[in-house]
Amino acid sequence: MNLAYLTTVVFGGIAALDATPVGQTLLSQPLVVATVLGAVWGDMRIALEVGIVLQILAVSTMPIGARTPEDYAAGGVVGVGLALGLSSHHPFIMTREASQMLGVLTGLAVAIGGVPLIRWQRRQNEGLSRWCEEELGRGREGALAASHRAAIGLAFAVGVVYCAVCLALGVWGLGALAERESLRLAKAWSLAQPLWLGLGLAHVLHAFIQRRLVRGAVFGGALIVAWLVLMVGTPPR
Amino acid sequence: MTRVKGSDLMRVALRTPLLQATWNYERQQGLGWAWCLKPVLDRLYPDPELRRARLAEHTAYFNTQPTLASLALGVIAGLEEQRAGGAGPDADGVSRVKGVLGSALAALGDRLFWSTLRPFAACLGVVLALGGTWQGAATMWVCYNALHLGLRWQGVAWGYREGQAVLGEALRRRLEDAVGRLSVIGAAMVGVLVALLMIPGGQPRTVTFQTALMGGLVLGLLTVIRARPSPTQWALGMGALCVAAAWLR
């Protein structure tokens, strides 16, 4: 269990690196995070339930220009990690659904709460940039590599610490709630999950359709055809 | 005249994942740009003083979509080669070309990668992940990175080879076509995804689930044109409301 928490927190640092400073390969996206953590914790179902909701919502976050996007790298790790941590002791469906509800809610709050932290890092990078230019003026070319090492180290450390603090607070503060109020939280999950999925899919759809009637018709046609195939084509159990 | 070698371009390409490592509000990708271009400057300017001067020039403000930045790096490597041979543009000229490339590639890249390919890969991944397997995440990752990493690593050599002509009509048309095709397939995939969510494995979900899913879709389409509150803030508010509703019932 402790090893699973430790791996989750370290993966928080890796996801923080992938989100902007290194690579941007989507390793930090909630679905990938959920799959990795699901394998680590040995519970793919819960991990994917939370990961899918967070992924659909994360897609509408655009890291365009100087905009500071919501921190779904930390949000995904903490949300999925918390749901897995809270549900790990409880085989009951109610408690597991309550854990999923708390996981997604915490993941969203962590994603929003991470924005000032990203801004802070970027301001630290401004100082690093000025320092690097001064050092280049003094003839130290190695300053370029040193500033990159420092920025990457800072991003990793901030990712690890932020995920560790949020995860620890979540498990400590919400563990009893998930047990005691599992019925109410499970009811809330049954309502919130489709609402979240619908909200996120609307934003994805908007990105694809871009007010083009033909693309809207393609969406409608695909929905109807898939509906008919699933309703008529699937043999009854 | 010293020429840039293929190995230099390869080293630039290998450094491109760190383009945004020192991203900041003042110079944005400026420092990362200088770091990526350093192997080329090392080759072209053996005189340390001149090399440091060129490096300092390249730490100035620069920003573009990070994947397509590889093309700009290749183009500027070519210009620096001409400049080192005494034939290319001066510092202002290079800076102007960087500016033009940065904004043009950002316009193309933001649409292709952030607004189209990433949602497309995510939808594909979610469709497969609904089955409860790891293949969804793997497919999403491969689908995005086949183009992202391919362009990132091949883009430097491509930009160097084509020069400023890389931003010609052919590239624009290819990228626009890719955006158009992915958008049409993506719209169809969202339709399939909605159906799969409502009738997983041929068994319809509860009326509450289907109504809430449609309610979320309608709310999302109504709020999508406004930047604030963001979708995440909407989602957090809706989640809090659902918890409150469960407590009050």
CB atoms within 10 A of CB B204: 13
Q: For residue B1, is pLDDT > 80?
A: no
The pLDDT assigned to B220 comes to 93
pLDDT higher at B85 or A106: A106
Say what the pTM is.
0.95
CB contact under 8 A, A32 and B190: no
In 3D, which of B122, B109, B106 has the Cα closest to residue B189? Answer: B122
Cβ(A185)–Cβ(A90) below 8 Å: no
CB contact under 8 A, B18 and A152: yes
Q: For residue B225, is pLDDT > 90?
A: no
- Chain A 205-224, residues with CB within 8 Å of chain B CB atoms: 205-210, 212, 214-216, 218-224
Using a 10 angstrom Cβ sphere, with 0-12 exposed, 13-18 middle and 19 or more buried, the burial of residue B215 is: middle
The share of chain A scoring above pLDDT 90, in percent, equals 82
Residue type at A18? D
Query: What's the gap in Å between the CA of A130 and the closest CA on chain B?
Result: 10
Tokens 């941590």 locate to: A85
Chain B nearest-CA residue for A133: B56
The pLDDT assigned to A236 comes to 60
Q: Name the residue among A63, A147, A188 with its Cβ closest to that of B242.
A: A188
Any A CB within 8 A of B132 CB: yes
pLDDT in tens, B195-211: 999 999 888 999 999 99
Partners of residue A111 in chain B, C-beta under 8 Å: 232
DSSP B24: B
pLDDT in tens, B234-249: 999 999 999 999 998 7
Averaged pLDDT in 10-residue chunks for chain A of 237 residues: 92 96 94 97 95 95 81 97 91 91 97 96 95 91 94 97 97 92 95 97 93 92 94 71
In 3D, which of B113, B10, B26 has the Cα closest to residue A207? Answer: B113
Rounded to an integer, the average pLDDT of B36-61 is: 94
In 3D, which of A145, A20, A71 has the Cα closest to residue B65? Answer: A20
Q: Token pair for residue B226?
A: 């406004």
CB contact under 8 A, B23 and A122: yes
Any B CB within 8 A of A31 CB: yes
Q: Where are the domains of chain A?
A: 2-232
pLDDT in tens, A147-190: 999 999 999 999 999 999 999 999 999 989 998 999 999 999 99
The pLDDT assigned to A1 comes to 66
Chain A nearest-CA residue for B138: A32
Mean pLDDT of the residues in chain A = 93
Partners of residue A47 in chain B, C-beta under 8 Å: none
Q: For residue B10, is pLDDT > 70?
A: yes
